[in-house]
Amino acid sequence: MAKIQKIKGFVDLFPEEAAKFTFMEKSARETFERYGFGELRTPVLEKTELFQKSIGEDTDVVGKEMFTFPDRKDRSLTMRPEATAGVVRAFIESKTHQPGKISKYFTFGPMFRYERPQKGRQRQFHQINAEIFGAPEAQADAELILMLKTFLNTIGLTKLTIELNSLGCHECRPTYKQALVDYYKSKDKENFCEDCRRRMETNPLRVLDCKVPACKELVVDAPVITDHLCDDCEVHFADVKSILDGAGLGYELNPRLVRGLDYYVRTCFEVASYDIGSQTAVAGGGRYDGLIKNLGGGDCAATGFAIGMERLAMLLDKLEADTPDFYLAVVDGAASNQAMLFAQQLRDKGLKGDVTYGGGSMKSRMRAANKSGAKVCLIMGGDELANQTVTVKDMVGDEEQKTISQADYLAGI
């Protein structure tokens, strides 16, 4: 019978790797809560139209990468390719927003995109997201960037570069888009890749984000958005930069930086790390005023970011495992039940450790104790069972091995 294997692009995370994800989530939760954010958990499955309306039907995500299927009632459902749309849907559906109220949420969880699997990018991947609703001010954008850097520093990533840009707003961006279209028309369209030829008609800004070398070369002299900002967008962007400057946070202005989704306006940013030598983008985000209204909610400002957890996991050093407090070695099978009960008493007192399920040779048990890294090896055999004692061997110091009553050992913890 053929073995059932995991689906291509989906990865099993065993304890050593899973520990990195747990560490990231714990650190994010502790950091974000200091900034007044609360956790929101949303479903991994949503109606397909949510992503069509939010991300944009002309994007690669919607057009090529979503896991979409009909349910038993022939309704089109999609496994979420990103988190923001679901958070916005939940925010609107909850009907909790009031004018002037600011809401801050963070989320963890798996996302799904049908892409070619590669290192750091799988078809099921994980993100940490943070969103602020109800704050049109530049201070919200700056706070998000500061919080993001704080989190990345907390988990040990310090060699960071932050790229910053403004995408303008719905008032000034049309002028810029037309300038881009005019520029593209001055070039031989056939020299662009197939995707970019399509983007010229549907989303001209996305051409700037193309990774194909020939396309990157063709847009070197393209107009830049910061030359086309309206007065309000210029003031907003200047305020963001002023706060970051005041906080001593270094950044680079990149007028070519765009976001891959249609709903972004004004501030956008991307964070990359050099901690593994070459530049690796680990997070990105920006402002998306108008998305909530577009999805049926009120006119509510919004800004946020997403962090790729697989990318972060690649950058984290191998986490040092917590040292067990004890390893309880059973050398006589008759003592197995008593050893299990004694181990439970140790755990009830808050200690952490392992216990063998049956008897075995002293040599093999001590080898296992050494491998576990436990601070102390507790030994139980026939004599210990008969006398209600336990033999204690220090595994980290030079204390002599001793045998004491189980009651006295528990009393000394």
For domain 15-172+229-315, the question of CATH label 3.30.565.60 is answered with no
| Backbone torsions φ then ψ of 387, nearest 5 degrees | -105, 5
Please state, in angstroms and rounded to a whole number, the distance separating the CA atoms of residues 341 and 40: 40
Lowest mean pLDDT among 154-163, 185-194, 273-282, 312-321: 273-282
Q: How distant, in Å, are the alpha carbons of 49, 66, 166, 173, 240 from that of 228?
A: 33, 34, 10, 7, 18
Helix (H, G, I), strand (E, B) or coil at 14: coil
Topology of domain 326-411 in CATH is: Rossmann fold (3.40.50)
Residue 58's nearest CA partner among 163, 161, 203 is 203
pLDDT band (50, 70, 90) for residue 2:
confident
8 A C-beta contact, residue 351 and residue 363: no
Please state, in angstroms and rounded to a whole number, the distance separating the CA atoms of residues 402 and 378: 10
- Rounded mean pLDDT, 373-400: 93
pLDDT tens for residues 288-340? 998 999 899 988 999 999 999 998 998 887 666 778 999 999 999 999 999 99
- 67 DSSP β-pair partners: 79
More confident residue, 336 or 278: 336
Site of tokens 């907390």: 154
8 A C-beta contact, residue 302 and residue 292: yes
8 A C-beta contact, residue 325 and residue 309: no
84: tokens are: 């923001």
- Rounded mean pLDDT, 237-258: 94
| pLDDT value, residue 170 | 85
| pLDDT value, residue 340 | 96
Beta strand residue intervals within 193-294, DSSP E: 252-253, 265-273, 280-287
- Total length of the chain: 413
pLDDT band (50, 70, 90) for residue 196:
confident
pTM equals 0.86
pLDDT band (50, 70, 90) for residue 270:
very high
Residue 396's nearest CA partner among 377, 379, 381, 375 is 375
8 A C-beta contact, residue 61 and residue 260: yes
Domain parsing of the chain, residue ranges = 15-172+229-315, 326-411
CA 208 to chain centre: 26
10: tokens are: 């989906």
Look at residue 285 and tell me whether its pLDDT is greater than 70: yes
To the nearest 10°, report the CA torsion of 63, 65, 70, 74.
-10
Q: Cβ neighbours of residue 273 under 8 Å, at least 6 residues apart?
A: 152, 157, 159, 160, 161, 279, 280, 282, 315
For the chain, percent of residues with pLDDT exceeding 90: 66
pLDDT band (50, 70, 90) for residue 243:
very high
- Rounded mean pLDDT, 348-354: 95
| pLDDT value, residue 260 | 60
pLDDT tens for residues 77-110? 999 999 999 999 999 999 888 888 999 999 999 9
pLDDT tens for residues 30-66? 999 999 999 999 999 999 999 999 887 767 788 889 9
Please state, in angstroms and rounded to a whole number, the distance separating the CA atoms of residues 256 and 165: 8
- Rounded mean pLDDT, 203-207: 82
| Backbone torsions φ then ψ of 391, nearest 5 degrees | -95, 130
Please state, in angstroms and rounded to a whole number, the distance separating the CA atoms of residues 402 and 388: 14
| Backbone torsions φ then ψ of 277, nearest 5 degrees | 100, -65
| pLDDT value, residue 276 | 59
- Within 10 angstroms of residue 307's Cβ, the number of other Cβ atoms is 22
